[in-house]
């Protein structure tokens, strides 16, 4: 009888988690499709911010082949090194706002697995003050229990207008490997899945309403670079990633 390896256990556990995440977030994703879709149809931009490792998830949907062109990322030059310096997230949002614009009616997706760190909370609060819809992508089980370091006293899930739950466990890793040590994080897998599901809901709404679909093509396909440049022209100065 073959014993399952740690990687086999992780794979089967992660697949089950992704199925639960899809089902648990289905209603929120469906609610967000028209909310974001109306903004996109009116020429709006979708903004993203991820602190620390969550930046990888935010980066997944910026300038992404098969994704929407109208996505722009709020970058942290320190890669989360000073994410708990109170006031830093506000400064990041203010600078980004001056460069690219955070406009009322648009959406910002703020990603923080723990939901407790200052920078993502401050980006969310700044965006709300500017009249944007805030979507918080977090591990709700951790965000509800982890003590925030922000002086406002609230975690991300309590600030966001809509919450997407990555279904993870506190600490992120789902497999115990030895003596209380755990490995196998899931926040990136689940986060990327949720954002792509969200954008497909937006695309579905746009398509159903007969709106143009501002979808990027892989630049490795014939004519794609020219097509992407044409799409991006409408958003001149508003996108963080220039398109070739």
The answer to whether 167 and 20 have CB atoms below 8 angstroms apart is yes
Q: List the structure tokens of 86.
A: 């109170």
Helices (H), the chain: 6-41, 55-60, 88-100, 118-129, 140-143, 156-159, 187-208, 224-233
DSSP 58-97: HHHTSS-TTSBS-EEE---TTTTTTTTSTTHHHHHHHHHH
Residue 145: its pLDDT value, please? 84
| The two structure tokens encoding residue 157 | 């899930």
Reduced to 3 states (helix: H, G, I; strand: E, B; else coil), residue 189 is helix
pLDDT for the residue numbered 130: 97
Neighbours of 157 (CB within 10 A): 19
Q: Report pLDDT for 149.
A: 82
Predicted local distance difference test score (pLDDT) of residue 217: 95
| pLDDT score recorded for residue 150 | 87
Below-70 pLDDT ranges, the chain:
1-3
Look-up of token digits 């648990």: 24
Domains delineated in the chain:
6-226 (3.40.50.10490)
Residue 70 has phi, psi (to 5 degrees) of -85, 45
User: What confidence score (pLDDT) does residue 199 get?
Assistant: 98
- Judged by DSSP in three states, 181 sits in strand
CB 57 within 8 A of CB 50: yes
Q: Which of 189, 112, 187, 125 is nearest to 161 (CA)?
A: 125
What confidence score (pLDDT) does residue 51 get? Answer: 87
Tens digits of residue pLDDT in 205-243: 999 999 999 999 999 999 999 999 999 999 999 999 988
**Helix, strand or coil, per DSSP, at residue 163:** strand
Nearest partner of 206 among 79, 68, 98, judged by Cα:
68
What is the per-residue DSSP string for 27-52? Answer: HHHHHHHHHHHHHHHTT--EEEEE-G
**Residue in 125, 51, 130 with CA at minimum distance from that of residue 90:** 125
């Amino acid at each position: 009888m073959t014993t399952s390896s740690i990687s086999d256990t992780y794979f089967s556990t992660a697949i089950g988690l992704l199925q639960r995440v899809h089902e648990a977030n289905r209603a929120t994703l469906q609610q967000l499709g028209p909310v974001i879709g109306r903004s996109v149809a009116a020429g709006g931009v979708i903004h993203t911010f991820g602190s620390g490792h969550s930046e990888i998830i935010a980066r997944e949907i910026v300038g992404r082949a098969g994704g929407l062109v109208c996505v722009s990322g709020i970058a942290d030059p320190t890669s989360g090194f000073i994410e708990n310096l109170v006031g830093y997230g506000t400064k990041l949002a203010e600078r980004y706002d001056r460069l690219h614009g955070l406009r009322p009616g648009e959406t910002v997706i703020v990603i923080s697995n723990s939901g407790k760190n200052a920078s993502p909370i401050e980006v969310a609060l700044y965006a709300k003050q500017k009249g944007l819809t805030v979507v918080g992508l977090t591990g709700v089980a951790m965000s509800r229990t982890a003590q925030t370091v922000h002086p406002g006293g609230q975690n991300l899930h309590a600030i966001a207008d809509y919450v997407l739950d990555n279904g993870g466990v506190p600490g992120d890793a789902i497999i115990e490997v030895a003596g209380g040590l755990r490995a196998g994080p899931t926040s990136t897998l689940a986060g990327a899945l949720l954002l792509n599901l969200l954008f497909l809901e937006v695309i579905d709404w746009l398509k159903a309403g007969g709106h143009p679909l501002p979808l990027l093509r892989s630049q490795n396909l014939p004519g794609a670079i020219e097509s992407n440049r044409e799409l991006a022209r409408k958003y001149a100065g508003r996108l963080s990633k220039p398109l070739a």
